[in-house]
Amino acid sequence: MYKELTVAKNNKESSDKKASNQPNALVRYLRETRGEMRKVTWPTRQESTRLTGIVIGVTLIFAAFLWLVDFIFSNSLHWIIELFINA
């Protein structure tokens, strides 16, 4: 019985020591994040400008395409409604 209590006490002490040696979760998260951010290869100003232009260009093209599709569908629907109302 005494031996079991001693083992349990030693296990508790060793787990307490492990917990006190490790930083809390927030500090660990921030350290790991900082370490990962150091590994990032950041683009140059020229690359950033070029890629931003590509994104804006594709966005404008896609917006024009959606406007055209919307225009066609709305006029078609308007034409169909007018056809049934006047029939």
Letter for the amino acid at 60?
L
| 57 and 24 inside one domain | no
What is the predicted pLDDT for the residue at 22? 65
Contact 13, 21 (CB under 8 A): no
DSSP 20-37: HHSPPHHHHHHHHHHHHH
| 21 and 49 inside one domain | no
| 32 and 60 inside one domain | no
16-59 pLDDT, tens digit each: 555 556 679 999 999 999 999 999 999 999 999 999 999 999 99
Average pLDDT of the chain to the nearest whole number:
85
Q: Where in the sequence is the domain holding 78, given as residue range(s)?
A: 45-87
Place of tokens 């006190």: 20
What is the predicted pLDDT for the residue at 23? 72
Q: Across residues 57-64, what is the average pLDDT?
A: 98
Domain count, the chain: 2
| 4 and 32 inside one domain | yes
| 53 and 35 inside one domain | no
Contact 18, 24 (CB under 8 A): no
| 3 and 36 inside one domain | yes
| 50 and 35 inside one domain | no
